[in-house]
Amino acid sequence: MKSLYKLSTLLFLFVSVTSCSDDDSPGDNLTGEGRVIIEFDNSVAGDDLILGSSYTNSQAETLTINRLNYIVSNFRLTDTQGNVFTYPKEYGYFITSEETGNTEVVLMNIPAGRYTAMTFGIGVDQEKYLLGAEGQGDLLTEAESTDMMWSWQAGYKFLNFEGTFTSSTVPENTYFQIHMGSHGSSLDNYKETTLSLGTEALVSDEMTPIIHLVVNAGNILDGDNKISLAEQAVIMVSEEKSPKIAENTANMFSVDHVHNGDGSSH
């Protein structure tokens, strides 16, 4: 009987250990490197942004949006221990475009870890621009093909937001253009934003998190700084309004959710 009891005890311990091992979370052992996928879900007034659709802002201006392109750059990821991984600068500039449907950024070769926050820039920083045309890599060509550059001398457009609008004082559809960028050191509109992910983004050679961001395009003109199109419908280089639009744009991003998986659907 004692032998049977000992055997039963050993079997119970074996099953228990095996069960615990099988129940381990895939995030328990994060090793190697992996990808981070960031999806920019453009929206307006709480709904998905559909080019050609209209909405009314807080200033009773009705906008029909035909274009929303912006540059995101200089990604940094912070883990649970406070360590910061900086994505390599030479690969760290991306143009997202609602026109082309290119609204996803994929960061490669991210060290395994549990990441809780993400920082990135909106636009192109002076350090990158001062590398000259030969130091821009594919970014320069892509910016030219997506209308995200005035000229090399004038620089990049960080934001290209266009469409038509009407208001009580502008009864007929009037074209609007909001192009935000930097114009020398006196008008540097490059901004950064830091977002708490809410849920840990798990990265390893087997785990690929997808970070879903909601981007509120209505914030461009209707954020903390209220910009009236009826007052000025074309804003490109404005010492007064361009910095306000840059601040609004930096605050239009929020984290909707993080999906941790193997990234097989991408």
CA distances from 92 to 121, 124, 172, 199, 235 (A): 10, 10, 42, 24, 27
The pTM of the whole model exceeds 0.85: yes
Quote the mean pLDDT of the chain.
89
In the prediction, which pLDDT does 171 show? 85
| Per-residue pLDDT in tens (0 to 9) along the chain, 266 residues | 444 444 444 444 443 434 433 444 555 688 899 999 999 999 998 899 999 999 999 999 999 999 999 999 999 999 999 999 999 999 999 999 999 999 999 999 999 999 999 999 999 999 999 899 989 999 999 999 999 999 888 899 999 999 999 999 998 899 999 999 998 767 899 999 999 999 999 999 999 999 999 999 999 999 999 999 999 999 998 989 999 999 999 999 999 999 998 755 55
pLDDT digits (tens, 9 = 90+) for 138-160: 999 999 999 999 988 889 999 99
Among residues 169, 154, 158, 175, the alpha carbon closest in space to that of 234 is found at 175
> Phi/psi class of residue 216: alpha, beta or left (left: φ > 0; alpha: ψ in -120 to 50)?
beta
